[in-house]
Chains A and B, each alone.
Chain A
Amino acid sequence: MSFFEANISRLAQSDSALAAALRQSRGGTLETLPARTGVISARVHGRWIHSAYDPVKEAQAWVEGQRYEEGETLVVFGVGLLYHVEALCARLPRTAGVVLVVPDLSVLVDAAVARTWDDWMKRVSWAWGATEAIGERISAAGHPLRLVTYAPAAALHSDSHRAIESALQRKVAAQAGGQLRIAVVGPIYGGSLPVTRYVVSALESLGHDVRWLDHSVHATSYHQLELLKNSQHRLALQSKYAEMLSRITMAQLAEDPPDLVLSLAQAPLILPALEHLRRKKFLTAMWFVENYRHLTYWQQLAAGYDFWFVIQQAPCIAALKQAGAKDVRYLPMAADPSVHRPVELTLAEREEFGSDVSFVGAGYANRREIFPRLLGHDWTFKLWGNEWDGATALTSILQRNGVRIDTDTCQKVFNASAVNLNLHSWAGAGLDPNGDFVNPRTFELASCGAFQLTDCRSLMPDLFTASEVATVSSSEALPGEITRWLREPEQRVAMAAQARQRVLAEHTYVHRMRALLSHVGVASPDRIGSILRGDRQAAALAVAADESFSSVASTLRTFPPAQRVELKQLAAQIRSRGPMGTLSREDLMVLMLDEYRSETKDLV
C-alpha cells in the first residue's frame, strides 16, 4: 500500500470528511526530493520548505523554540511535510491539543504522498475548508489557544493565515469582558499626546482599568532645555531628562503593576528600562503613531517592546523586525467621535472659522511650497496652525498669527469649511510620492462629517473609498480639484456623511484598541488572553480551586461571579476577617503570594 493510501485510511478514522476531500484533491504544490540525510524534504519554486540537510533535526530545533503552557491548545500554521507537527506532538504532554490549519488541501496531499504518518497524527485536529470554517474549528477546540507558525511552510498561505488569525482575534474581541489593567505611557508633548488621550478614553469605554502615566506635566521643564544654545549641552541634558522620566515611569509602574504597559510614540521609556520590564515579566506594547521614515528612534527601541503596532505596512514592519522587534502589526490611525463630531455653528462662528478652502496644520516644506499656488483664485482660503514662520507669501491667509490651534477650534474650522485640505506632511516639494499611511486628520475630518480633499496615500483604499474621501494625485492638479469640489456642494455633503459613517463603523479608537488587545490576547493566551476570556473571574477561579483549595474556593464564591479576582483582592478579603478570624493554611499561602505581589524594591 502506498504512503498516501495508508495515511488517508488512518486519517479517515478521525476525520473521514477530510480523508474523502484529500482523495478528491490533487497535489503538486510541493516539489519533494531527498535531503542529505536521506529523508524526504520539499521545496516550492526553488525555496526550501524543510531543511535540505536534515528536516527531522530542523523540526526538533523549531519545537525547542516554541512556548507551551499547561492546558493550552496549539494552533499550527504551516503544513509542509508535517515534520514540525510530528516533532511538536512528540514534545508536548499527552493532554495538550494540537490543531493544524490546512488552508490548501493540495499541500496535505503532497505530504500524504511523501512520507508515512504515524500515531502522532491521532492527536491532531485538522482545521480545513473555508476561512470561517477553519476559524470555527479552531474556536471549537475550547482551550486557551496559542498560535505557532512554522514560517517556511506558512509563507505559502500567508493571506489565508492572516484572515484566520483575524477571525480568531474577532472572537477574542467578542468574548472580551474587559477588566484588564492597562498603564498607558504618553509622551511629553507632540502629536501623540492627544492620541494618548483618545486611547485612554477608548480603553476605559471598553471597561478596562486604565492608568495614564501622563508625562505632559513635564513639558515645561523639557522645553526649557530647548532654550540652551549649546547643542551638545542641550542634547546631553535632554537625553538625561528622558532617562529620568523613564525612571519615573518605572517607579509608577512598580507601584501598581498593570497587565499591559501600552506606550504611545515618544513615550519616555528607554531601552534599558524596557529590557528590565521584560526581565520582570511585564508585557509591553507600543503604538507607533509616527512615520517611521521621519522619526527613527524606533531603531533603538525595536527589541524592547513585546508588541509593536504601526501605521504603515510592509516596509515598516520589515524594518522593525530587522531591528529586533518580535511582533509587529499594522494598526492605522482613527478618530474619537466624542471629540471629533459635527457641531452646529453660530453665524458669527461661521464668519470667523468658515472659508471656501482651509487647512489646519503645521508649516512643513511641501505645504509652504504648494499653498502660495492656491492664492489669487476665486475662493477664500484660510490657513490655521503654527510653525509658519518665514512663510511671508501666506501671511495674508494665516489666522491668529500662527498660534497652535486647539481641538475645539479645529473642529469648528472643519465644520465651517467647504473644502478641507488635508495634505500629509513631507520634507520635499509637492506631494509625497511614496505616501503610504493615512494621517489622523483624515479620520478626524471624516468623523466631524466634514468634506476633505486629501493627497493620494497607498493605504487609503483599505480605509476609505473614493465616495467617502476625495483625493488628489499631484500638486498641479490641486487647484482644479478644489474648483471642481466647490461646485459640487451636494456631493460634498453626501461624501462627508458617508465618511463619517465609515469612521463610526470601523475607524474609532475603540475599534483600534479592541483590535490591539485582541492581537495581544491571541499572542499571549495564558495572560491577556486568559483575562479577556474571563478565566480570572471569581466564578471560573472558584471552579478551578474546588479540587485542591476548598477554603480559597469558598472565599472566591463570596465575590460577584463576574468580578476579576487576583491575589490582591483575595488577600484583602481574607484580611478583612479581622484579628479574631482564623486562617487556614491555604489562606497563609494566599497572603504569602500577595506579599510577593506587593514587593517593589527590585523594580526601580
Chain B
Amino acid sequence: MKQVLIINVTRMGDLIQTGPLLSRLREEWPDVAIDLVVDRSFTPTAELLPGLRQIISYDFTRLLDDCRTQSKSLVTLMQEMTAWAAPLRAARYDRIVNLTFNRQTGLLASYIGAPDLRGITAGPDGSPIVQNPWLSYFTDLHRHRRFNRFNLVDLYAMGGSGPGAFSPLSVTIPADGRAWAEVFLRSQDRTVRQWIAVQIGASDIMKAWRPEYFGRTLAHLSRHSGVGFVVIGTSAEAEAIELAKTTYRAGGGTAPMLNASGRTTLPQLVGLLSRCQLLLSNDTGPMHLAVGVGTPVIDLSVGHVDHHETGPYGPGHWVIQPDLACSPCGFDQICAHHACKDRLISEEVAALCLHALERAPFPSWSLGVRIYQSSVDADGLGSFSLREGHVDAGAAWYAAFWRRFWFEDFTGRPSQLAPNAEVAPDHAHAMAWMREAIQPLRQLEQRARHIATLTRRQPLPVSLLQQEQARLRQGREQLLPQMMAHSATGPSTVAMIRDIHNDDVVGLTMLADRHVKAYRRWQQRIDRVNTLLSAEPVQFEKRQRPLPMIESAVSVTPVSITRS
C-alpha cells in the first residue's frame, strides 16, 4: 500500500480544490492511503473531502503566536512540535505533497521526510526549494499570470500526482446538513421555486464586489416571480450584508431574502448550497463548496482575483470579469479606488443570473466586462471560454500557446488542444528577438559547463572559478530583462530563474552540474518556442465539445478520523 501525505493548511477554498488530486492519486495507486495535514480551524472543511484515511490537524495559529511572542522557550516549542510530528515521521510516507506555499510547511515537509517530496520543501541549507514542475509553475504564477490558463485545481492534481481524466470538485453533503437545509428553506417561504444563494463578503475586501451592487442586483431579480435569496457568509460580514439589504429594499426588492450568514455550521452551509439553484458569489471558499455540491455559480471576479487560476472548476459556471487595464491586479496590491468593481453593472449581473436559471436568453452586455463560461478542455483540464467582451489579442494568443507548451513540456505527452490557428500577433518581432537571443543563451550554457569543469580540478582554481561565476552572472543579468519582456521568452525565463535558484544538491560540482542543466533546459525551451512559432499555423475545424454533466455531489455521512 502506498501512503501519501498532503499538507494544505491555509484556506477553505484551497482544501476544497484539493479534491481532484485525491481522485487522481487513487487513479495512480488504487490502494493509496491519503492523509491530510490541516489547520485545526479547517478540520470541518477537510471532513467534507471524501476518501481520506486521516485528517491530522494542528493549531498552527497558536503555534505562530507562541513562536512570535516567545511565550514558550524554544525547547518547549520543539518538544511540543516534535511530539505532534512523531507519528507523521513514523508513518514513512511514500510521497508528501505540500500545497501550502510557504517556508514553514516546506520545512515541515522536509522534517517529516519522504522519498518523493513535492511542492515547497527545504533545500540542503534550509532555504526553500520547489519540487515538481507543476508546483514550481504555480509558485511563480504571479510573474506570468496574464498567460496562465491552468486552474489551481489542475495544478494541484498534476503536481501532486500527474495528468489524468477530468475529475470534478466533490464534497460530501452531510446528511444532517442536508436535512437542516430542507427544513430551513421549507419553513421560510413556500412561494419560492428557485433559491439563489448570495455570498456578499470575502476574506479580503479587494476581492469583494460592492455590497450595494449586490443589493441592486437582487432587487432586479426580485421582479421575477418564484425567486428567493439566501444570504450566506460569516458574522464578520454583517456590515456588508446589512448594506446590501438596505440597497435591496431601497431598490424595491420584495422577494424573500433569508439571512443565513453567521448562523450555519459548515455541514448546514453545504446542505444549503446543495439546495439552491444558483450561487452569486465573490471568489471565496463557499464558491468552491457550491461547485463541489453541483450548484452552478456566477463568479464575480474582481480585484486581484483571476478566474483562470481560482475560478469555478469544471463545466456549468459563469464568470464576470471587469475589462480594465489594471484588472486583475497584483496579489499584494492595495487599491485606493476599486474601480474594477464599478464595471460590473447590476442589471447585467441579474440578467446573467436569470440566464443561468434558464429563465432568460443570454443577455447583451456593456463594454466594461468580459463574460466567461466554464468548461473542460480536450486535455481534461478546467477551462473558460470567452462568451462576451474583448481580450488583448497578443495576450490571448500567447496564453493559448503557453497552455499547450507547458502541458506538453511537463507531461511529455502531446496536448489534445488545437494549436493557435493564426500566427502570433508579434510574429516577426518575436522571431527576430529569438534569433538574437540564441547566441547569448548558448554562451551562458558553455560558460556554465566550463565552470562545472573547473569545479572538478584539483586543487580548486578558486580565483578563476570566482571570475567565471561573475561573468556568467553578469551575462545572465544582461539577458534577463529582454527575455522577460518578450511574450515568446518570458514564461520560460521565469522557469529558468526558478531552476537556477532551486538548489537541491550539496557540493560545488553537483551545483555546477545542476546549473548547466538549467541553462540547457532554458535554451531547449527557447529552441522549441522558436520551432513552434516558425511553423505554419495548422488549419483545423472548430467543433463544439459536449460538456460533461456535473455529478460531483455525493450524499453520505462523512467518516474521518481527526487527530490533534
Contacts and interface: CB of A to CB of B under 8 A. Distances in A.
A278 to B, nearest CB: 10
Interface stretch (A15-23, A43-51, A589-597): A589-597
Nearest to B126: A591
Interface string A42-79: 00000000000000000000000000000000000000
B291 to A, nearest CB: 27
A146 to B, nearest CB: 14
A280 B65 contact: yes
Interface stretch (B14-22, B76-84, B228-236, B459-467): B76-84
Given A566-B70, A588-B126, A595 B75 contact: no
A257 interface: yes
A599 B110 contact: no
A548 B79 contact: yes
Contacts, number: 117
Contacts of A541: 73-75
Contacts of B126: 574-575, 583, 587-588, 591
Tell me the interface secondary structure of chain B in the complex.
helix
A404 interface: no
Interface residues of B, number: 37
Contacts of A598: 68
Contacts of A549: 75, 78, 82
B79 A281 contact: no
Contacts of A376: none
B74 A588 contact: no
A552 B122 CA distance: 18
A588 B73 contact: no
Contacts of A282: 69
A142 interface: no
Contacts of A548: 78-79, 82
Interface size class of A (residues with CB under 8 A): 35 or more
B537 to A, nearest CB: 46
A582 B123 CA distance: 10
A314 interface: no
Interface string A506-529: 000000000000000000001100
Contact of B73 (A544, A585, A597): A544
A582 B69 contact: no
Nearest to A565: B74
A567 B70 contact: yes
B73 A281 contact: no
A536 B107 contact: no
B104 interface: yes
B68 A596 contact: yes
A204 interface: no
Interface in A551-604: 552, 565-567, 570, 574-575, 577-583, 585-599, 602
B67 interface: yes
A567 B111 contact: no
A570 B125 CA distance: 15
Contacts of A369: none
Interface in A529-551: 530, 535-536, 541, 544-545, 548-549
Contacts of B108: 592
A311 B15 CA distance: 53
A449 B141 CA distance: 70
Contacts of B79: 548
A283 interface: yes
Centre residue among B111, B113, B125 by max chain A CB count within 10 A: B125
A544 B75 contact: yes
B124 A593 contact: no
Contact of B71 (A281, A565, A590): A281
Nearest to B503: A579
B68 A589 contact: no
A259 interface: yes
A552 B78 contact: yes
Given A536-B73, A567-B77, A575-B126, A592 B111 contact: yes
A602 B63 CA distance: 13
Contacts of B110: 588
Nearest to B125: A579
7 tightest A-B contacts by CB?
A592-B107, A597-B67, A596-B67, A281-B65, A595-B104, A544-B75, A588-B111
9 contacts: A259-B69, A535-B73, A549-B82, A565-B74, A567-B74, A579-B503, A580-B125, A592-B111, A598-B68
